[in-house]
Amino acid sequence: MDNFKAGEPSEKSANNSSSQVWDFVSSPDLHPMKVTINMNKGGTASGLIFVSPYTLYEATMIGQTGSLIMDQAGNPIWFNPLNNRYIQNTDFRVQCYKGIPVLTMWQGTISGTQSATPNLPPGNPEPGAYFQIINPNYKIIKKLTAQKGYTADLHEFTITNRNTALFTAVKQISADLTPYGGPVDGYFNNYSIQEVDIETGKLLFFWSVLDYINPRDSMIPASSATTFNNIWDCFHVNSVQEGPNNTLLISMRNMWAIYNIDKETGNIIWQLGGKQSDFTFGPKATFSWQHDARYRSGKRISLFDNGCCSSPNSPPESKAHGLILKLNFQNMTANVDRAYYHDPMLYVPTQGNLQPLSNGNQLVGWGQDPYVSEFSNVGNTENDPSLNFLFDMQYPNQNLSYRAFKSKWIGLPLYPPNIAIEIFRENAVIVYASWNGSTETVAWQVLAGPKPDRLSVVVDNVPRTGFETDIYVNSHVSYFQVNALNSCGYVIGMSRIAHLE
C-alpha cells in the first residue's frame, strides 16, 4: 500500500508568491496583490475585507486590477481579475437584493488611469461603464447602465430596500463658461442621481445637479476646464444615500459641501459646508474635498475628510480622517462627535470612506493612500492618533482602492475546486488545492489511484491554509483528485481528476 501523508510545505510551495504578488500553482491565472498587516490588536469586528485594487497611470500596478475579498490576515478568499490594468472595479461591497446577500460593483475605465493626458477630468468614468450584481455563486445576475445619455459613475451604486438601484451618473453638457471665467466652448461636467427598477430597467427617479446647484459655488475654478478638453468638473458628486422622510444625502467633493435634498421636489432642504452652508462649524468640524457622506443615528453625519491637495483654493493641508459630525438644527451648528486618524497621519488627495461595523467599530478605507484601518468607535484625535487604532492593512506600492469595506459573506461557487500536482522527489508529489471564492471550505481530502476509476481517499481532513493548500504525498500512482470539506466534514466540492504524466 502506498504511503500518503500531509507534510510540511516544500521550499517551492512555501515561496509561492513574490513579496508583493500572490502566485498559485493550482490557480495560475490569479495574481492578486499581496498586502501587509501593520497592526492587529484584537477587538476587531468579524467579517471579510472587500477592496478593488487599481492604480494611477504613472504608477506601476502590482498584481491585477479587479475585485478582491480577503480575510483579516490578508489571504485572498475570492479574486476576480480584469483583462488589463486599464479596466477597474470600484465600490465593491456586499448588499442585499430580494432578501439575498449579493456582491455589487462598478466596472469600467477611470479617467487618469489609461493616459498621462486624460480626455476627461480625473476620477470620471469613461463611456461604456456599468454596474453589476453578483450572487453568492459568483454568477452575474444583473448589469445596469445609466440612462438619458449619462455614463454610469464609479462613485455610488446602492440597492434600496425596494429592490431598486440608486446611483450616480455623469454627462458633459456644452455651455459658454465665460461668465464663470472659463472657455466659451466649454462643458459642464454634470452629474445626476438616478433610480431604476433593477428587474425592468425602468427609470424611476432623476435629479440633475445643474438644475439645483449654482456652479459659481465650486471650489474648482472654471479656468481649470482648459486642462481637460474644456470640461469644468465643478460639482464632482461622490456619494448619495437615502434618508428619512423621502430625502437624499448627497456629497459634492468640488463644492466642499453635503446637501440634504427633498426627493419629491428636488429642492435643497439644507447644505452643510461650502460657500452657502446653512451651518456654522465648531473646532475641527470643517471639511474639504470630502467623500462618503452618510446619515448616522442621533442627528449625526459621517464622512471621509480628505482635506488636502487638490487645488490652489485648498486651505492649508490637513490630515485626512474619518469624521462624524453632530448637527444641531435649533442653532444650525455642526460639531465633532468622533474622528479617526491614521497613525502615522496621512495626506489623501482623493477617494476614501468610513464604514460602521457590526460591533460598533469603524472601518476607514484611505482611498488614494494604500491602507485599510479599523478603529474602536470612540475614535482618536490628531494629537493622539494611536488611540483606539486596532487594525491596519497596507497595499503594495501605489496600489489603491476607491473604497474599502468589511462584511460577512458566504461564497458558494458552482465551479469546481482547482488541483495541480508537482513531483517533489521520486515517489513523492505535492498536491495543490484551491477554490476561488469558497468561504465554507475548512479542510481538504486527497484521493489517488492508478486509474481514474480507482481512486480512494489517501489523505483526509488536511486543514485549509490560506488561498492555496499544499499537501505532501508519498505516492507512485498517477491520478489525483481533491475534495473540499466543510466544518462538518462533508464534501462540498470535487476537483477534476488530475493525471501526473
**Annotated domain spans of the chain:** 1-31+416-501, 32-407
- Give the model's pLDDT for residue 312: 52
Number of residues in the chain: 501
Are 32 and 68 in contact, with CB atoms under 8 Å apart? Answer: yes
Report the half-sphere exposure of 44 (CA within 13 A, side-chain side).
Answer: 23
Q: Of 285, 312, 290, give the one whose Cα is nearest residue 237.
A: 290
Alpha-carbon span 492 to 438, nearest angstrom: 10
pTM above 0.85, yes or no: yes
pLDDT the model gives residue 315: 55
**pLDDT (average), residues 364-372:** 98
Q: Which CATH superfamily is domain 1-31+416-501 in?
A: Immunoglobulins (2.60.40.10)
CATH code of the domain made up of 32-407: 2.120.10.30
Return the minimum-mean-pLDDT range out of 54-58, 64-68, 472-476. 472-476
pLDDT at residue 192, as a whole number: 98
247-284 pLDDT tens trace:
999 999 999 999 999 999 999 999 999 999 999 999 99
Residue 310 has pLDDT above 90, yes or no: no
Give mean pLDDT, residues 8-30: 72
Burial class (CB in 10 A: 0-12, 13-18, 19+), 105: buried
Cα 450 from Cα 1, distance rounded (Å): 12
Sequence-separated (6 or more) residues with CB below 8 Å from residue 213: 235, 252, 255, 259, 268
What's the Rg (C-alpha) of the chain?
25
Contacts of 395 (CB under 8 A, 6+ apart): 33, 35, 51, 53, 62, 370, 371, 401
DSSP bridge pairs for 66: 81
What pLDDT, in 10s, does the model give residues 184-213? 999 999 999 999 999 999 999 999 999 999
Query: Can you tell me which residue has the cell 461591497?
Result: 93
CATH topology identical between 1-31+416-501 and 32-407? no
For residue range 112-166, list pLDDT tens digits in order.
999 888 899 999 999 999 999 999 999 999 999 999 999 999 999 999 999 999 9
Q: Is there a contact between 167 and 131 (Cβ–Cβ < 8 Å)?
A: yes
Res 1 pLDDT > 50: no
Query: Using 50, 70 and 90 to split pLDDT, how confident is the model at 5?
Result: very low
